[in-house]
Each structure stands twice: as structure tokens, then as C-alpha cells.
Amino acid sequence: MNDHLKKYLFENRSVRIQAVRLEDTWRDALTHHAYTPAVRRLLGELVAAATLLAANIKFDGSLLLQIQGDGPISLVVVECKMEPARAPIPQAPEGTAGGSGRPGTAVDLSLRATVKVREGQVVPEDGTLQSLLNAHGEGRFMVLLDPRRKTPGQQTYQGIVPLEGDTVAQVLEHYMKASEQLDTRLWLAADDRHAAGLLVQRLPDHGGQVGEAPDEAWNRATQLASTLGADELLAVDTDTLIHRLYWEETLLTFDPQNVRWHCPCGRERVAEMLRMLGRDEVDSILAEQGQVEVLCDFCGKPYRFDSVDCAGLFAARAPMADAPHPPTVH
Ligand SMILES: [Zn+2]
């Protein structure tokens, strides 16, 4: 069962709405980590935000939210990779006007993330974006767009996000307004089971609707969403949530996008890293700890190599010239 990101448009195309509620993805994200509630909440809000922002742009590559912190947390990176859809996506229900209508254009969103807590620091339970990452005003928040296939000379786009605001949502709303000139409102929340978010965006040049002032639909869309608390955002599935908020509106719906957690780490990659480290180093870790344990930087998955595994690492690649005798077959 996949998580999905869902997109909607007001019928007059003046307001875009996106919603995501991650369950399996978020469970996978937390599997190998024991985050404190404050870190989990912050990371979950950034994961939901990265998913919403990635789905909001037309781009072939990865969107990264990266904060270098000066408080108890020294680094948070969330990457949302946009890639061609692998599995067929359920069709939009009948009677809706949405859907890409073009086979092969569906995009999956895959996420990974890392958090580094500064050594020796205790993360307070009531830690916030500001107190955890910008305690001395030296935190740096960047949005990066990394194209999948770089053309020669093409750079990764880097946008600086001023750390102005108490929450991830406020900081990103300011950024969207300043960088995209788009009015965007975000609602984000995370607990130990779900990470969820809602994005409401005013679209430019929609032409308006006869008899409706330009701001009317936007004001209505944001006022309705402002009634939403974090508990409701986390507890209620996306379809129900959107219905509760916007049942009086005619919404165009689009094909949902699959969202999943994916880390490309694997035992063979770790083995290669240990070979690069060299036999002496690996032997000395073995002597000291009885085994070699490497944790993936992103997902935290542990890879363990005992003395037999380690011998295998080097034996398999030993050049023939080093072998004392030619191999014999019995
Ligand atoms: Zn990993």
C-alpha cells in the first residue's frame, strides 16, 4: 500500500490545493532511528513540505531542503526525488475533470532524509525550528534543485530560505512569496505515525469568474484551511479532509502521485566502502569491536560484517599475484 499525494484545483482555476498524508513512507523513515519527539516533528514537517513543494514544480530531478543548524541540530537534509511512475496509478473517479490524460507522464515521489544532532547536545522536548537550528541566528536554510541529467555547465539551483518565522510552514510561505511571487499557505504536522501537509496556492492570471472578486476564492480557500488543526491533519485521510474543508466548492481532481521512502544504500555499497578503507583499518576495528558495523547516513540501516564477512571482502578481490599458489581444483 502506497502513500499518495493528491492535487486539486478550484473550478475557476484560481486556487491550487495539494495534500499528503504519509504513513508507510513515514514508518520507513523512522525504522532505524530513535528520534526525540521534537526532532521527529521537525523532520516530519520538512518531509511533508518537501513532498508538497516537489509536486508543485515541473522538474526532472530532486528537490532538497537542507538546513545547516547552529543549535543542537547541525544538519537536516530531506530529498524528494521525482521519477517516472513505476506502478499504475488509480484513475481519478468518474465525473472529475482532472487527470493528466497523458499516459507516461505520471511521476512518483521518493524521499530520504538525514538529521545530525551535534555531539554532546541534548535536544529539548519543546525544541522548535528556531531553537534547534537557528539558536544564534547562524542557521542556513537552502532549497536545492538537482537535475537528474545535467547538461554541460548546468548548475544545481540553490535558493536561500531566510529563517524568518517560528515554523517550517511560515518560513517556507515567506520563501515562496519572495522567490515565486506566489501566495502560498502551508499546514504541516508530524507525530510517530504520520507526517502530513496541506498546500494552498493562489494561481496567477486565472482570469477570475464572473461576479467573483479576484481575492474571493483565495480568501475562502485559506479561511477554510485555517480551521485545520495539527491533530485533524494527522488523523484524517486526505479524501475525507478535503471533503470536510471544501465540500461546498467544485474541485477538479488529478491523478494521485505515489510517494515512498527509498534509500539507495545496500550491502554491496558498504562492502565497497570497507574495501576502500583498507584491510588494516578493517582488521583493527574487528579486533576492537568483534565486528564492523556501518550505519547508512540517510536511512540509518545498520550493515554488520563479522570476521568471516571481512575476510571475504578482501579475499574475493585479492590480485592473483598475491596468491601463494595457483588455485587447485580437488
Ligand atoms: Zn540507507
- Report CA(134)–ligand 1 centroid distance (Å): 27
| pLDDT recorded at residue 59 | 84
Q: pLDDT class for 100, splitting at 50, 70, 90? A: very low
Look-up: residue for cell 485559506? 222
| C-alpha cell, 330 | 580437488
Distance between Cα 57 and ligand 1 center (Å)? 26
Mean pLDDT of the 158-173 span = 95
What architecture (CATH level 2) is domain 3-261? 3-Layer(bab) Sandwich (3.55)
* Top-confidence residue, 311 or 95: 311
Compute, in angstroms, the gap from residue 265 CA to the centroid of ligand 1: 4
Q: What is the pLDDT of residues 106-117, one digit of tens each?
A: 789 999 999 999
Residue 300 CA, ligand 1 centroid: distance in Å: 6
Quote the ligand 1 centre to 174 CA distance (angstroms): 32
CB within 8 Å of 57: residues ≥ 6 apart: 63, 145
- How many A from CA of 116 to the centre of ligand 1? 15
What's the gap in Å between 299 CA and the centre of ligand 1?
4
pLDDT at 145: 94
Q: What CATH number belongs to 267-322?
A: 3.90.1280.10
Q: Using the mean position of ligand 1's atoms as its centre, give its distance from the Cα of residue 26 in Å.
A: 14
State the distance from the centre of ligand 1 to the C-alpha of 182, rounded, in angstroms.
Answer: 35
Per-residue pLDDT reduced to its tens digit, 49-69: 999 999 998 888 999 999 999
In the structure, what pLDDT confidence band is assigned to residue 75 with cuts at 50, 70 and 90?
A: very high
CA 35 to ligand 1 center in whole angstroms: 16
In the chain, where are the structural domains located?
Answer: 3-261, 267-322
Q: What is the pLDDT of residue 94?
A: 43
Cβ count within 10 A of residue 319: 6
Task: Give the pLDDT confidence score for residue 325 in this predicted structure.
Answer: 52
Q: Which range (17-26, 137-146, 186-195, 208-217) has the least confidence?
A: 208-217
CA of 29 to the centre of ligand 1 (A): 10
Sequence-ordered list of residues with C-beta below 8 angstroms from that of 217, at least 6 positions apart, any chain: 10, 12, 14, 15, 209
Residue 296 CA, ligand 1 centroid: distance in Å: 5
Tell me how far the alpha carbon of residue 263 lies from the centroid of ligand 1, in angstroms: 5
Tell how far the Cα of 231 is from the centroid of ligand 1, in angstroms: 30
pLDDT band at 323 (very low <50, low <70, confident <90, very high): very low
Query: What is the mean pLDDT of the segment spanning 16-43?
Result: 95
Confidence of residue 88 (pLDDT cuts 50, 70, 90): low
Q: How far, in Å, from the CA of 99 to the mean position of ligand 1?
A: 33
**Spatial separation of the C-alpha atoms in residues 203 and 182, rounded to whole Å:** 7
Give 21-34 pLDDT, tens digit per residue. Answer: 999 999 999 999 98
Checking if the pLDDT of 324 tops 80, the result is no
Give the predicted TM-score (pTM) of the model: 0.85
